[in-house]
């Protein structure tokens, strides 16, 4: 459980910092730092057990059917990585507090940083590989936010996009790879996968799974040829670079490689792919780093190179090489984070990061210079620093590794890589701090405040300590981690500075001497380098992306023509075709159920419906006429419901009909009304064929179903349980508010959302192009001389209480007799709408006491509360209770919790209907440009002046 | 002629009219068509419970024959949701018209009424 708390702490911290948006920068930093420190403390408490070889684990089932569980475990490898994530995270939080300018939104920065930290921590701790994938993708997303933090800069946006495209794309491959791995192992739990190494390596799916997983790891860890995103991610603020591109994000790939080392490593394919990629990346990164001038670019390419080194070591596939990789993993995180912070300090204090301009800063900023020199020396692999130890051990491993039968390839190239890394590290040290100052920097350099250099100084101390007292500092940790990573195969080694006269020592000495010579001849080398035709990976990436976008755009434009007709036609034709295919293969035919005779009334109604439909079709261009005709159809449908034993439906249909027609009338007032010929004759005929096919098929299916008896109707249950279970005799209402209350709850939410969308669409309609059209709109209909006839106004006002009473009555009886919340809501809406119609929007709106938004919200909340309330009694969601009570004068009556739910329904319906119509009226009023009238029963002055006096 | 035939044919007619109207390229006709389709679909769903006359689904101790309440409950919410959808589509059409000055949705150039009359 401690692990789950640990994993969630950064996310909680992010939420907390987010809530403190108005707090001072110091407070925000304090909260972010305190969360991280707390998480670090939680982690360290468990270090003893974990290093003693007892992993800690925690598990919560999530989606067991998919094999997905929220299971975490902490072994030594996870401990090391999580420790780096949290430890360096804490230092970066302190550093960023002083680094970021006053104009940068500090709170947002810490929120992103903590989210990223939580995602990384999840990667380090996840036991379930599906969970690991979720966190892995989260790191891609959150790093996107961090890299693009300065979103106003084009290169920040580009860098963020590129990082997301490359690491996110790799993440997709990783998903496939890990799923395959889980399939082979038969479990998605890492601890189980790690036990089935033999099964995995001999599986026929192994090569495929390996390549996919490597794609994920290589993109994340910026291995050649996917290395190009990392330098572009340097557009991020330096604290982000120090965090993401030294210790955490880019290390995630290496972390996973090492995590899966026991099951994947050791095959020829593994060596060929991983060791070679690592070797190439190391050389490519180191060569480019030597010839960059931007300090952060130098560090970025050096990171690429060092990640290549780590990958190569893991690729060797020997336990000893894996141990060295683990040790260098630690060393690199320490010196690289410090170097990035150091470069940030130089940038911050001098105003430039150009190595050609800088120089001689050692005397001007002595503290920063000391830190920079020590950590650069560690990166170069100079004794007696941590970097020297691990690099020498790397050379030792390389010295006896053969590549494709050639024994010299790996040692020579590894020495070359080490030489280049000496050269670029020394260049950083010499060109920034040691050589003579030869140009003025934009700012006068001086040491920054303690908060800025403190974190990097601490890391530099760590680099020194790791070199001088390796066993005391890292010995136990490295042994435990190496044991975990290799599955217990790692040899017990003693880390020490002096290994005696070994080949590695000679290679090291060669690297240092030649590296120094290369730096001396840097100018000449640079001229040579600039003549080399180096293909730009970014250019390739950009061309690839634009080609991809062109294809996507072409496809979209071909499919999305902007013609609703075409989309609908495709939809209808497909539906008809699929329907016909289904019917013909399913042997559909009319059944033999006894049919009901059609009474003369039914035939008349049917005839009216037919006439109404034909009238709508004929009049569809004369819009008001069409509305009148369509309301006839609605009326017949309601009557049909009454006739066919559905009183609830009839009530709903007729009330909905009224509000729909009102709504359409209001909208139509503003829409163009001229009759337009729609489509060519051919198009009308073609659409007619589609329409007849669709209608015919639907009618036939309805006929086929109605003429056969129902097969085991589930409604029998609803009927039987309605009164004993739900306490109501109106089975339809009981079904709505009880059996299927959750469903109804969803429906009223949909209704509320529709009303809010209408609000959003129309509130903003008075601005911009839409607002201009509204202002230019002219009434194009003949107005009634009396806008608000007195008879109408008086009658509706008298009717208001009565209509309300009817609504309440329908509501109250709904559980037992036709009625209920939906119908009551609609009836009450109509009662209020009558006031709007009779007395005008302005008048009615001023006298309105209820807010539609509040009504919708209250309705949904009441319904939700009724549903959740049942949980408090230990019964499932939306379970209802009812009882019978007696009151004097009233007599016995029933109360059910479902009634409260129904009240929520009614409130939402009233709110939604009123919202839709009020917004339309509001816009119409804007268009009419009416001066608000004080008189509800006003007489149009235009008419008064026309009348002879 | 049976009641079932009347209902089935009414569904067929309403569906055809709805489809034909939604295939016209103007927002108002699309709204009309959707309204027609809503009628047709609601009646269709209702008819899935088979047709029964004079036996509303009001529970009683001795009542054994009743109209199927389940499709009715489903259709009741469907009617209300159809209203919500119609309202949203109408408002969307209105806003589109105000924003673009045309109520065409067929992706073609605007044909105004004047051109048509000419």
Report whether pLDDT(A40) > 70: yes
Q: Model confidence over A305-357: pLDDT tens digits?
A: 999 999 999 998 888 888 888 888 988 998 899 999 999 988 888 888 888 88
B116: in domain: no
Q: Hey, is the C-beta of A9 within 8 angstroms of any chain B C-beta?
A: no
The pLDDT confidence band at residue A208, using thresholds 50, 70 and 90, is very high
pLDDT band at A675 (very low <50, low <70, confident <90, very high): low
Which residues, in sequence order, are bridge partners of residue A128? A189
Q: Is B99 in contact with A768 (Cβ distance < 8 A)?
A: yes
Span A609-613, average pLDDT: 94
Of the partner residues B1, B9, B59, the one whose CB lies closest to the CB of residue A699: B9
- Burial group, residue A118, by CB count within 10 angstroms (0-12, 13-18, 19+): buried
Query: Under a CB-based contact definition with an 8 Å cutoff, are residues A100 and A242 in contact?
Result: no
Separation in Å, CA of B71 to nearest CA in chain A = 9
Q: What is the mean pLDDT of the segment spanning A395-400?
A: 84
According to the model, what pLDDT value does residue B115 have?
Answer: 43
Cβ atoms within 10 Å, residue A211: 14
Does residue A817 have a pLDDT over 60?
yes
In Å, how far is A688's CA from the nearest CA of chain B?
6
Please, which residues 631-660 of chain A have a Cβ atom closer than 8 Å to chain B?
Answer: 633-634, 637, 640-641, 643-649, 652-653, 656, 659-660
Selected residues 75-114 of chain B with any CB under 8 Å from a CB in chain A: 75-77, 79-88, 90-95, 97-101, 103, 105-108, 111-113
CA separation for the pair B68, B84 (Å, rounded):
26
Nearest CA in chain B to A615: B17
Mean pLDDT across A109-123? 93
The mean per-residue pLDDT over the stretch A667-677 comes to: 76
Give the pLDDT score at A230.
Answer: 87
**Record: contact A606-B11, CB cut-off 8 A:** no
Of chain B residues 1-60, which have a CB less than 8 A from chain A?
1-32, 35-36, 39-40, 42-44, 46-60
Q: Which residues of A touch B75 (CB under 8 A)?
A: 646, 649
User: Considering only alpha carbons, which residue of chain B is nearest residue A771?
Assistant: B98
* Chain A neighbors of B20, CB-CB under 8 A: 617, 687-688, 690-691
Does the pLDDT value for residue A92 go beyond 60? yes
Within a domain: B118: no
Q: A326 exposed, middle or buried (CB, 10 Å; 0-12, 13-18, 19+)?
A: buried
With CB atoms and an 8 Å threshold, state whether A691 touches B19.
Answer: yes
Region for residue A260 given its phi and psi (left: phi exceeds 0; alpha: psi -120 to 50; beta: otherwise)? alpha
Q: Which run of H or of E encompasses A892?
A: strand A891-896
Mean pLDDT of chain A: 86
pLDDT tens across A863-918, in order?
999 888 888 888 888 888 888 788 777 777 778 888 899 999 999 999 999 999 88
Percent of all residues in chain A with a pLDDT value above 70, rounded to a whole number: 97
> Which pLDDT score, from 0 to 100, does residue A353 have?
85
Q: In this prediction, what percent of chain A has a pLDDT beyond 90?
A: 32
- Give a yes or no: residue B110 inside a domain: no
pLDDT value of position B8: 94
A815-849 burial, b if ≥16 CB within 10 A, otherwise e? bbbbbbbbbbbbbbbbbbbbbbbbbbbbbbbeeee
Residue A939's pLDDT band, with cuts at 50, 70 and 90, is low
Q: Got the DSSP string for A1-47?
A: -HHHHHHHHHHHHHHHHHHTTTS-HHHHHHHHHHHHHHHHHHHHHTH
CB within 8 A of A698, min separation 6: which ones?
Answer: B11, B12, B15, B40, B44
Q: What SS3 state is found at A894? A: strand
Which residues contact residue A649 at a Cβ distance below 8 angstroms, ignoring those fewer than 6 apart?
A: A638, A641, A732, B42, B46, B72, B75, B76, B79
Per-residue pLDDT reduced to its tens digit, A256-304: 999 999 888 888 899 999 999 999 999 999 988 888 888 888 999 999 9
pLDDT given at position B117: 38
Residue in chain A closest to B75 (alpha carbons) equals A649
Closest residue on chain A to B74 (Cα): A736
Average pLDDT across chain B, whole number? 86
Pick from B99, B28, B94: nearest CA to A920: B94
Interface test with A, best of B77, B81, B118 (most A CBs within 10 A): B77
Assess contact for A410 and A274: CB atoms under 8 A: no
The pLDDT assigned to A101 comes to 83
CB A97 within 8 A of CB A450: no
Task: Encode pLDDT of A550-565 as tens digits.
Answer: 999 999 888 888 788 8
pLDDT in tens, A732-752: 999 999 888 999 999 999 999
User: What's the full length of chain A, in residues?
Assistant: 949
Q: Does some domain include residue B113?
A: no
Q: With 0-12 CB in 10 A as exposed, 13-18 as middle and 19+ as buried, what is A61?
A: exposed
The structure's pTM equals 0.70
- What pLDDT is recorded for position A180? 92
**In angstroms, how far is CA B87 from the centroid of its own chain?**
13
Cα gap A767→A776, rounded to integer Å: 13
The pLDDT of residue B114 is 43
Whether residue B50 is contained in a domain is answered as yes
**Nearest-angstrom CA–CA distance, A80 and A98:** 27
Pinpoint the alpha helices (H) of A317-408: 319-350, 361-364, 366-380, 386-399
* Structural domain for B34, as ranges: 3-105
- For range A491-495, the mean pLDDT: 75
Partner-chain contact A670 B53, CB within 8 Å: no
B40 domain-assigned: yes
Least confident of A662-676, A726-740, A851-865: A662-676
Q: Do B32 and A596 touch (CB under 8 A)?
A: no
Average the pLDDT over A634-645 and give the result.
94
How many Å apart are CA A324 and CA A393, to the nearest integer? 6
Within a domain: B17: yes
Question: How many structural domains comprise chain B?
Answer: 1
List Cα–Cα distances, A183 to A67, A188, A513, A574, in angstroms.
11, 8, 51, 37
What CATH number has the domain bearing residue B9?
Answer: 1.10.287
Q: How does residue A935 score in pLDDT terms, banded at 50, 70 and 90?
A: low
Q: DSSP readout, A723-743? A: HHHHS-SBHHHHIIIIITHHH
B22: in domain? yes
């Amino acid at each position: 459980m401690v692990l789950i708390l640990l994993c969630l702490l950064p996310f909680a911290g992010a939420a907390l910092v987010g809530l403190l948006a108005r707090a001072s920068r110091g407070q925000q930093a304090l909260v972010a730092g305190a969360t991280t420190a707390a998480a670090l403390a939680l982690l360290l408490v468990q270090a003893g057990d974990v290093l003693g070889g007892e992993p800690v684990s925690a598990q919560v089932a999530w989606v067991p059917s998919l094999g997905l569980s929220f299971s975490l475990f902490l072994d030594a490898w996870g401990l090391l990585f999580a420790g780096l994530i949290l430890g360096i995270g804490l230092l970066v939080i302190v550093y960023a507090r002083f680094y970021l300018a006053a104009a940068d939104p500090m709170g947002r920065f810490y929120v992103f940083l903590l989210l990223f930290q939580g995602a990384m921590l999840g990667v380090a701790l996840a036991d379930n590989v599906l969970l690991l994938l979720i966190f892995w993708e989260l790191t891609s997303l959150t790093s996107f936010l961090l890299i693009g933090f300065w979103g106003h800069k084009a290169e920040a946006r580009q860098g963020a996009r590129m990082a997301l495209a490359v690491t996110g794309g790799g993440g997709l491959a990783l998903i496939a790879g890990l799923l395959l791995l889980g399939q082979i192992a038969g479990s998605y739990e890492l601890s189980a996968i790690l036990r089935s190494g033999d099964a995995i390596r001999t599986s026929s799916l192994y090569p495929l799974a390996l390549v996919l997983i490597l794609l994920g790891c290589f993109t994340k860890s910026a291995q050649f040829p996917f290395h190009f995103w990392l330098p572009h991610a340097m557009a991020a603020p330096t604290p982000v670079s120090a965090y993401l591109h030294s210790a955490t994000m880019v290390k995630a790939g290496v972390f996973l490689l090492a995590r899966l080392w026991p099951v994947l490593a050791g095959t020829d394919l593994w060596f060929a792919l991983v060791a070679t990629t690592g070797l190439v990346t190391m050389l490519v990164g180191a060569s480019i780093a030597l010839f960059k001038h931007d300090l952060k670019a130098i560090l970025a390419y050096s990171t690429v190179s060092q990640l290549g080194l780590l990958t190569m070591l893991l690729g060797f596939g020997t336990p000893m090489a894996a141990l060295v990789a683990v040790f260098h993993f630690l060393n690199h995180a320490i010196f690289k984070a410090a170097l990035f912070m150091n470069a940030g300090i130089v940038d911050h204090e001098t105003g430039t990061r150009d190595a050609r301009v800088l120089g001689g800063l050692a005397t001007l900023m002595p503290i920063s210079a000391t830190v920079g020199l020590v950590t650069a020396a560690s990166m170069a692999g100079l004794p007696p620093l941590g970097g020297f130890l691990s690099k020498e051990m790397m050379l030792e491993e390389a010295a006896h590794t053969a590549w494709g039968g050639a024994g010299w390839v790996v040692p020579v190239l590894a020495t070359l890589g080490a030489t280049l890394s000496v050269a670029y590290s020394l260049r950083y040290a010499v060109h920034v701090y040691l050589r003579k100052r030869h140009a003025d920097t934009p700012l006068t350099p001086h040491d920054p405040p303690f908060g800025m250099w403190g974190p990097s100084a601490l890391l530099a101390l760590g680099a020194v300590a790791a070199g001088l007292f390796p066993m005391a500092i890292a010995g136990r940790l490295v042994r435990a981690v190496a044991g975990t990573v290799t599955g217990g195969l790692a040899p017990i080694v003693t880390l020490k500075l002096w290994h005696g006269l070994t080949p590695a020592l000679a290679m090291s000495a060669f690297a240092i001497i030649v590296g120094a010579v290369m730096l001396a001849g840097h100018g000449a080398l640079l001229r040579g380098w600039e003549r080399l035709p180096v293909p730009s990976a970014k250019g390739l990436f950009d061309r690839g992306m634009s080609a991809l976008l062109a294809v996507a755009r072409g496809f979209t434009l071909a499919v999305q023509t902007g013609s609703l007709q075409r989309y609908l036609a495709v939809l209808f034709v497909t539906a008809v075709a699929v329907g016909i295919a289904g019917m013909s293969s399913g042997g559909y035919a009319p059944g033999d159920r006894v049919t009901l005779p059609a009474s003369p009334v039914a035939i008349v109604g049917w005839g009216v419906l037919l006439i109404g439909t034909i009238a709508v079709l004929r009049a569809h261009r004369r819009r008001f006429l069409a509305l009148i005709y369509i309301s006839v159809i609605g009326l017949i449908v309601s009557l049909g419901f009454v006739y066919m034993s559905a009183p609830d439906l009839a009530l709903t249909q007729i009330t909905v009909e009224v509000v729909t027609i009102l709504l359409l009338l209001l909208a139509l007032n503003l829409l163009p009304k001229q009759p337009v010929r729609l489509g060519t004759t051919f198009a009308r005929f073609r659409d007619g064929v589609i329409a007849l096919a669709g209608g015919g098929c639907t009618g036939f299916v309805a006929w086929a179903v109605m003429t056969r008896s129902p097969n085991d109707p589930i409604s029998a249950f609803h009927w039987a349980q309605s009164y004993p279970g739900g306490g109501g005799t109106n089975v339809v209402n009981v079904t709505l508010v009880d059996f299927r209350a959750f469903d109804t709850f969803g429906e009223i939410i949909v209704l509320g959302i529709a009303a809010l969308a209408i609000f959003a669409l129309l509130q903003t309609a008075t601005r911009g192009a839409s607002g201009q059209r509204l202002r230019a709109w002219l009434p194009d209909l003949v107005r009634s001389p009396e806008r608000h006839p007195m008879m109408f106004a008086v009658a509706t006002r008298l009717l208001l209480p009565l209509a309300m009473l009817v609504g309440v009555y329908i509501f109250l009886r709904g559980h037992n007799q036709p009625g209920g919340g939906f119908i009551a809501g609609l009836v009450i809406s109509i009662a209020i709408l009558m006031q709007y119609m009779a007395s005008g929007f302005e008048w009615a709106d001023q006298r309105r006491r209820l807010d539609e938004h509040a009504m919708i919200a209250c309705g949904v909340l009441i319904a939700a509360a009724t549903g959740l309330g049942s949980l408090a009694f230990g019964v499932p969601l939306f379970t209802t209770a009812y009882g019978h009570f007696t009151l004097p004068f009233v007599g016995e009556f029933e109360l059910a919790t479902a009634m409260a739910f129904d009240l929520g329904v009614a409130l939402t319906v009233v709110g939604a209907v009123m919202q839709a119509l009020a917004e339309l009226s509001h816009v119409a009023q804007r268009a009419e440009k009416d001066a608000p009238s004080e008189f509800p029963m006003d007489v149009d002055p235009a008419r008064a002046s026309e009348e002879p006096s | 002629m049976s009641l079932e035939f009347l209902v089935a044919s009414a569904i067929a007619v309403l569906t055809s009219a709805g489809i034909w109207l939604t295939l016209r390229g103007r927002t108002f006709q699309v709204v009309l068509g959707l309204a027609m389709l809503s009628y047709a679909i609601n009646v269709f769903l209702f008819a899935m419970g088979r047709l029964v006359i004079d036996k509303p689904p009001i529970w009683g101790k001795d009542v054994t024959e009743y109209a199927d309440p389940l499709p009715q409950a489903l259709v009741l919410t469907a009617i209300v949701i159809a209203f919500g959808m119609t309202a949203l589509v109408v408002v969307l059409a209105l806003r589109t018209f105000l924003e673009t000055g045309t109520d065409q949705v067929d992706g073609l150039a605007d044909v105004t009424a004047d051109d048509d009359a000419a």
